[in-house]
Amino acid sequence: MRRRTFLLRGAAAGVGFLASAGVRGQEGSGRTATELPVIISTWPFGKAANLEALQVLQSGGTALDAVERGVMTAEANPAISTVGYGGFPNRDGDVELDAAVFDGSTLDGGAVCALTGYRHPVQVARKVMENSPHLILVGQGARSFAEEQGFSAEETLSDGARAAYQKWLKKHPDRLGAPEGHDTLGQVALSSQGSIAAACTTSGMAWKLPGRVGDSPIVGHGLYADDSVGGCVATGMGEEISKVCGSFLVVERMRQGATPEEAIEEALDRILMRQGQNPAVQAAFVALSKSGAWGAGAIGSRFHYAITRGNQTEVIEVKPQKRRG
Ligand code: GLY
């Protein structure tokens, strides 16, 4: 299989959640909240994650607690085919999960890649940050660490994901069908105390090669946060997001004075510079500044994000941007 064919496919699993999420049509996606906390997440299923994160903050939890608990909502939901239990497997039928957390107060983080056998990789990622001298653990090492930390192994292939895999296998008995879908749940929270944290969780691409890792668990690619500037998370084709160090780029442009929306436009434009207007390349970012301004942007296809400020949560649609200039 040619590498190009292998990569250039995308699907927006989150769109299935639109009806229940109460989506608002597109408006300018750059805004400033007048009330803290502010929480932003990718995709309509980010709404449940935001509501959970808000509850954690309202109960006295930190921004890091909030994003960890927030993204766990999708990890537990078998109806979401791109995250946690429910995530579609790799081409061998194994669900390999990637997740990361990053704390903008300490610039510390933790991540797991290609973790099998645990439905909440984000919890393991946080333990990597807190209970190991490392930033990232992968594969069998991540699995052994999860066991050592007291997590119980569980079935991670949901009935729906198993059925989808069987169908795919029938169509592609050589297991060389193109990977599909990469709708990461990424979340950034700005607490009332001014702390910013970010988390990402994903099963990566369905039918990927075993061992493939995208942007989501890589600090600076799928997520980044710095209390003195803001935070950003990504979703979409990890290979392309990683090539521009997407989330770090957005935060650094904000540090230089760009609004979240301007910074995101620039990062997406960098991806488009490599890819032209190829509509098969789907990527999106959401970002928050330390002052509560937020932005979102996408290329390739429509994108939806969930935003919470104060007690109000809504899902907003963003149309894909074209290459500038
Ligand atoms: N953005 C998710 C992935 O590419 O794995």
Q: Is the CB of 42 under 6 A from ligand 1?
A: no
Tell me the CA–centroid distance for residue 35 and ligand 1, in Å.
32
18 has pLDDT over 90? no
| Index of the ligand 1 atom closest to the CA of residue 241 | 1
The pairing of strands 230-236 and 283-289 is: antiparallel
SS (H, E, C) 23-57: EECCCCCCEECCCCCEEEEECCCHHHHHHHHHHHH
What single-letter DSSP state applies at residue 136? E
Rounding to the nearest 10 degrees, give the CA dihedral for residues 117, 65, 23, 244.
-70
pLDDT-derived band at 182, boundaries 50, 70, 90: confident
- Stated as kind and residue range, the H or E segment containing 20 is helix 18-21
Tell me the CA–centroid distance for residue 192 and ligand 1, in Å.
30
User: Rounded distance, CA 237 to CA 256, Å?
Assistant: 26
| Index of the ligand 1 atom closest to the CA of residue 203 | 5
184 is catalytic: yes
Collapsed DSSP state (helix, strand, coil) of residue 188 = strand
Q: In a mutational test of the pocket of ligand 1, which residue from 184, 245, 285 has the highest number of ligand atoms less than 8 Å from its CB?
A: 184
Tell me the CA–centroid distance for residue 174 and ligand 1, in Å.
23
Catalytic residue (choose from 42, 116, 184, 313)? 184
Question: Region 311-325: what's the mean pLDDT?
Answer: 88
Domain ranges of the chain: 6-318
pLDDT tens digits, one per residue of 135-145: 999 999 999 99
Q: Collect all residues with Cβ–Cβ distance below 8 Å to 182 and sequence separation of at least 6.
A: 10, 82, 202, 204, 205, 214, 235, 236, 237, 238, 282
What is the dotted CATH code of the domain comprising 6-318?
3.60.20.30
Q: Percent of the chain, pLDDT > 70? A: 90
Q: Is the CB of 195 under 6 A from ligand 1?
A: no
pLDDT-derived band at 166, boundaries 50, 70, 90: very high
Q: Atom 4 in ligand 1: which residue has the minimum CA distance?
A: 238
User: CA angle, corner 260, sides to 258 and 263, nearest 5?
Assistant: 55
User: Rounded distance, CA 112 to CA 137, Å?
Assistant: 5
- Stated as kind and residue range, the H or E segment containing 239 is helix 238-243
pLDDT tens digits, one per residue of 62-107: 999 999 999 999 999 999 999 999 999 999 999 999 999 999 999 9
User: Rounded distance, CA 222 to CA 241, Å?
Assistant: 7
Q: Is the CB of 214 under 6 A from ligand 1?
A: yes
pLDDT-derived band at 314, boundaries 50, 70, 90: very high
Say if residues 134 and 160 touch (Cβ distance below 8 Å): no
pLDDT-derived band at 1, boundaries 50, 70, 90: very low
2 has pLDDT over 80? no
Q: Collect all residues with Cβ–Cβ distance below 8 Å to 101 and sequence separation of at least 6.
A: 64, 67, 68, 109, 110, 111, 122, 125, 126, 129, 197, 198, 199, 223
| Index of the ligand 1 atom closest to the CA of residue 212 | 5
| Index of the ligand 1 atom closest to the CA of residue 182 | 2
Q: Is the CB of 217 under 6 A from ligand 1?
A: no
